[in-house]
Structure 1
């Protein structure tokens, strides 16, 4: 379900807007809201980032909340998540589909603590090809 409803749709939007010349940023939120109940096979539940967006001091990883909030706040206020990011944090690269000739764009990986890094968007590629197939899409999205 998450591939069809969230991951592949987000990726498709990022690829489409970036190819159209629209400034686009993508991220992979990899910080559980409740670390003690997180199970790696389940992944990070949808909306786990909600408290982090608002810099809630009661989250499991307050430093992650502080960093994430500044990226999001910067984007909302300036249209660029990097202009007001915290000093010492990585620059969130624009998503460029097909970058470096390998087909993988760069995105922000938001890990617990102060371990936010840049990664290639390699996640679920084959599965997304399945869901984004134009013949199949006509039958699925009526």
Structure 2
């Protein structure tokens, strides 16, 4: 099991999941997804915000989303522990996506399979690509 170097569990799960599962919630994530977010943090050399509910902020469902979560797609990678919505501090989402695409073969970014475009946050996930998709595949919300 991989434990990220740059993120604590509270940044990756919602309050209820943290309170009910505690440290066992790490098992909800795919290792490649956790490696992915560490790589993004190291690539940009800047803080990356995912959830901030534990600091009094508004975000709690930008990482893992529990089965009873009412938003998002039914088969979202968020529900499978393989996707994160984030903000790279100091960059817009478009700027972050552009830098990732220009540098997509950088070893720190190699785990990113897909990105969502047309949104004001950076969504990256590790969903396996289909036969005709290329890394990094971009999709609409």
State the TM-score, normalizing by the size of structure 1.
0.27
Quick check: which one's helix share is greater?
A: 1
Tell me: higher relative CO, structure 1 or 2? Use CA pairs within 8 A at least 6 residues apart: 1
Quick check: which one's strand share is greater?
A: 2
Query: Based on CA coordinates, which of the two structures has the bigger radius of gyration?
Result: 1
State the TM-score, normalizing by the size of structure 2.
0.27
